[in-house]
Structure 1
Amino acid sequence: MELSHIIILAVIQGLTEFLPISSSAHLVFIPQLLGWKDQGLAFDVAVHVGTLTAILWYFRHDLRPLLVAWWQSCLTRQLTDESRLVWGVGLGTIPVALIGLIMSVLDVDEALRTTLIIAITTIIFGLLLGYADKTGTHRRTEYQLTWRDIAIIGIAQAIAVIPGVSRSGITMTAALLVGLNRTASARFSFLLSIPIIILAGGMETLKLLKQADQLVWLDMGLGVLFSAISAYLCIRLFMGLLEKMGMMPFVIYRLVLGAFLLIWISQ
């Protein structure tokens, strides 16, 4: 890969992974739009390792007490707010993990990676995000989630296997609809991303083991580096501005992007 392609795609992945605008959609249509060769599975794995690194670093002060609380709940069989949150992340991951496994076995991933599907889902779920942000009560934090709330968010997350839906977008939408405030919706969405990225990256890595001698490790290393830096900066900026700006800028972006893609494929 050319260095400029590596930097641009890695930064785009870092910026879009945690924003409600669909990273997978951007990684599909931008190379097509610019006439670039497909970056391949290895590079996709690398940039996801970068975003995983960013989110682990962002939550570095939260993860240890959360995991300690979870372990104590296993020993005492008593839940605290912190341990329930960890169990919630685990349970919320089950639906998308099952759907992802089924799709991998049926090998239908590529059939969904079309510009038309991306354009339609970008618009539809952008409008849904706007509705949730406008009508949600914004009263609760992620520590006040009920098991029903977690089930709703987890099932919603499973829809994100369709390119253009946006995993972060649909989980924030569902969280807003069940009454979480914007910051709590984003934090729970980010926590949910940790096991998902690990599981998806693990499955893709198994595929890569068959072609390890063909990998360009420098390209992958640069992909990890640039996606990690851009993702961390994006998370910090997003969380700092979220309560002030709300979700509407992302809704507008999705509508404009979806309309642009529809016009582009119609020509």
Structure 2
Amino acid sequence: MRKTLVYGVAAALLTVAAVLTLAGWGDDTAKLPDWQALVLGLVQGFTELLPISSSGHLIIVPWLGDWTYLKEHESFNKTFDVALHLGTLVAVVAYFWHDLVGYVVAWFRSVGHRSIQTEDEKIAWVIVVASIPAALVGAALESFIEDHLGDPWQIAILIAVFALLLFWADKQPEEREIGDVSLKRGFLVGCAQTLALAPGVSRSGITITAGRFLGLSRDAAARLSFLLLVPIVLGAVLLKGYTDVLGGNLPSGWVGPFVVGTIASAGAGLLAIDWLLGYVRRHDYTVFVVYRLAVAVILALLIISGARDATF
């Protein structure tokens, strides 16, 4: 998408989300208020696509604000999470629509002649191969992750540790572009992506880190990270949409926050993609390392001082 179109669509989406919130459309203050859904949608859109951990921020923000509704209502939380991820999926698909269509066509063409003959065919297979580890591990460990990971003290540790790892990786030379990624390297990035199932690691952060360790340029690492979001989030949205939405009953009070959160997430996601790609063409990832370390320090101080509980 061209920059003017990106910012125009993003502005329109964010305006719609804000207007719906101000109008109280579908709002039920006894459930999840529209204004909280708007905030969480913005958080999801920006943090899913920047290397700072969306899952961690979606826990930290309610923890800081003492918003307990989602924590206390698991079915609502799960379906709202589907809505937020749908928003960021829409943003990535819209932004990379031309590329994604080309890769899908190239993949089917490659399957048809049973070989990899072009750069687009190789990239398409890299995306497929890199998506397999996270899909398998996510399906196998989803319940364990939900039950044992995601407390603020854990997020503080992971957000700091993987900030330092990103800093180290970003010191590596820029030797390859996205078309130079082999299937083996793609699989290694996919294996690294499984770590992002733990809140605080960051899916985009760990895939960018792995890409930089493998010599990808900063722009190529970011682009690969965005492309890998599509099959992973699409699979999660379809699976959770079937099990938690179609296979269950939508919770009461869902209309306002689901619509507001999805629209806000899509608008913020478009801005995050365009900003990050423009930023890393001229700068390194240090600003994200500093941000993550600052967040970790703040979380630690809040917990140690007793201002907030270590768990949520």
Shift of 1:218: 2.4
Is residue 2:161 matched to residue 1:161? no
List gaps (5 residues or longer) in structure 2: 1-31, 71-76, 307-312
Superposed displacement of residue 211, structure 1: 2.0
Cα distance in 2 between the residues matched to 1:160 and 1:96: 9
* Contact 1:42–1:215 (CA under 8 A) maintained in structure 2: no
- Structure with bigger helix share is 1
Are 1:200 and 2:230 counterparts? Answer: no
Task: Report the number of matched residues.
Answer: 265
Tell me the CA shift for residue 207 of structure 1: 2.1
Instruction: Write the mapping of 1:68-217 to structure 2, written as runs, cut at 5 A.
Output: 68-79=105-116, 80-104=118-142, 106-134=143-171, 136-205=172-241, 206-208=243-245, 209-212=247-250, 214=252, 216-217=254-255
Cα deviation 1:119-173 (Å, max 9, x = unaligned): 1000000000011111x21121111001221121011001111110000000000
Find the residue that maps to 2:49 and give its secondary structure.
coil
Aligned equivalents of 1:8 and 1:85: distance in 2? 35
TM-score, length-normalised on structure 1? 0.95
- Partner SS for 1:68: helix
Q: Which residue matches 2:12?
A: none
| Bigger CA radius of gyration | 2
**Structure 1: tracts of 5 or more residues without a match:** none
Structure 1 vs Structure 2: percent identity of aligned residues? 36
How many Å separate the matches in 2 of 1:265 and 1:7? 27
**Separation in 2, partners of 1:38, 1:249:** 33
Q: Quote how far apart the aligned CAs of 1:61 are.
A: 1.4
Q: 1:38 to 1:127 in 2, by over 3 A?
A: farther
Asked if 1:24 is matched to 2:55, the reply is yes
Deviation of 1:215 after TM superposition, in Å, equals 5.5
Comparing 82-91 with 39-48, greater Cα deviation is found at 39-48
Contact 2:79–2:244 (8 Å) recurs in 1: no
Q: TM-score, normalised by structure 2?
A: 0.82
Report the alpha carbon displacement of residue 108 of structure 1 after superposing the two structures with TM: 3.7
Alignment check: 8 A CA contact 1:69 1:83 kept: yes
Backbone CA RMSD of aligned residues:
1.3
Whether the 8 Å CA contact 1:14–1:231 is kept in 2: the answer is yes
